[in-house]
Amino acid sequence: MKQAMVLTAIDPGIGGVLVFGDRGTGKSTAVRALAALLPEITAVEGCPVNSARLEDVPDWAGPKSGKMIKRPTPVIDLPLGATEDRVVGALDIERALTRGEKAFEPGLLARANRGYLYIDEVNLLEDHIVDLLLDVAQSGLNVVEREGLSIRHAARFVLVGSGNPEEGELRPQLLDRFGLSVEVASPRDIETRVEVMRRRDAYENDNEAFMKKWRVKDAALRKQILAARSALLLLKTPGVVLHDCAALCIALGSDGLRGELTLLRAARAIAAFEGADTVLRSHLKKVAVSALGHRLRRDPLDEAGSASRVARTVEETLP
């Protein structure tokens, strides 16, 4: 799970992370802790959509000073019970009709622009909210239209969802929008469980000492993410790696080409993270399960899970 989160921080174009697993395995805790690891972004001061340039600030946002500031990368929670207006934003129709002004109250999508949008229990999300997210994820633009008025703004974010598969399945259309998927299981060995309890106890009883202990490691990881972002542009991708991507997806019966594209981006991100200058077959193998596991058609005759099927096919196709 940590690897998947780091890869999307290096290359947001990978397309987000879906975390499925048992209750109480720290899925939500891990996602929310991501905010502390993300490098800051540069944005126009006071801009409600975190615009990187003054000319990108929406006209409805009003005049801005033009000053550029550093701010934390936004990680925004989308609650299950959120209304459509809270998600996309709300137009003040009365003010528009009486004063002729476009009065717009930005929603969660505006706040998440250039950051992360997190949905806990994503498989229980209402269908009409799912449809909204699909439209915005496709276009990168949030459009709100009411009574002949239209407001639009950039809405490019990394979608992160978590949930328990026992509580319901995720719609295939939304499932395909997640670049990577991860399955989290409860640890089966005593040592790991004891370490979890020990760290949680230290966090609750001596928070200051706990944070001080881990702050150095967090800073080192943040620095490594920034270095990997810069290295992405210089990475070499041999033709054989492209061939391997296509061969693996054909062997798995993956629909469309999104699987290959995501697999390649994820492999490039992990290569940059490890300091390599060339993408290798070994990098593909490391990310194949998370990039392709949720894109497989169900095989009623194969009792193994999708992750096992991908791992088996990787060994057969890419020895």
DSSP string, 92-129: -HHHHHHH----EEE-HHHHHTTEEEEEETGGG--HHH
Helix axes 2-10, 258-273, angle to 10 degrees: 90
pLDDT at residue 95, as a whole number: 65
Residues annotated as catalytic are 258
Beta-bridge partner residues of 180: 17
Average pLDDT over residues 246-270: 91
Highest mean pLDDT among 98-112, 267-281, 288-302 belongs to 267-281
Average pLDDT over residues 251-273: 91
Residue 44, token pair as written in the block? 């126009």
Residue 210, token pair as written in the block? 């706990």
pTM, two decimals, is: 0.84
Assess contact for 296 and 252: CB atoms under 8 A. yes
Report the SS3 class of residue 188.
coil
CATH class of the domain comprising 2-184: alpha beta
pLDDT at 236 over 90: yes
> Residue ranges of the alpha helices (H) in the chain?
2-10, 27-33, 84-88, 93-99, 108-112, 127-139, 172-175, 190-205, 207-232, 239-252, 258-273, 281-292, 306-317
Assess contact for 137 and 171: CB atoms under 8 A. no
SS (H, E, C) 264-290: HHHHHHHHHHCCCCECCHHHHHHHHHH
Q: Where are the domains of the chain?
A: 2-184, 190-232, 239-317
Q: What percent of the chain has pLDDT over 90?
A: 38
Assess contact for 44 and 54: CB atoms under 8 A. yes
pLDDT at 267 over 90: yes
pLDDT at residue 305, as a whole number: 60
pLDDT at 163 over 90: no
| Among 164, 202, 313, 188, CA closest to 247 | 313
pLDDT at residue 301, as a whole number: 43
Interior CA angle at 86 toward 82 and 87, to 5°? 80
Assess contact for 261 and 238: CB atoms under 8 A. no
Report the SS3 class of residue 51.
coil
The number of C-alpha atoms within 13 Å of 211 and in the hemisphere containing its C-beta is: 8
Residues in the chain: 319
Question: What span, in angstroms and rounded, lies between the C-alpha atoms of 53 and 56?
Answer: 5
Which is it for the CA torsion 276, 280, 286, 292, positive or negative? positive
Which tens digits make up the pLDDT trace of 196-215? 999 999 999 998 999 888 88
CB atoms < 10 A from the CB of 99, how many? Answer: 10
Which tens digits make up the pLDDT trace of 55-103? 888 888 876 677 899 998 999 999 888 888 899 988 776 665 566 666 7
CB atoms < 10 A from the CB of 213, how many? Answer: 12
CB atoms < 10 A from the CB of 37, how many? Answer: 18
Which CATH number among 1.10.3720.10, 3.40.50.150, 1.10.8.80, 1.10.357.10 corresponds to the domain 239-317?
1.10.8.80
* Alpha carbon distances (Å) from 269 to 35, 43, 101, 234, 272: 19, 24, 45, 12, 5
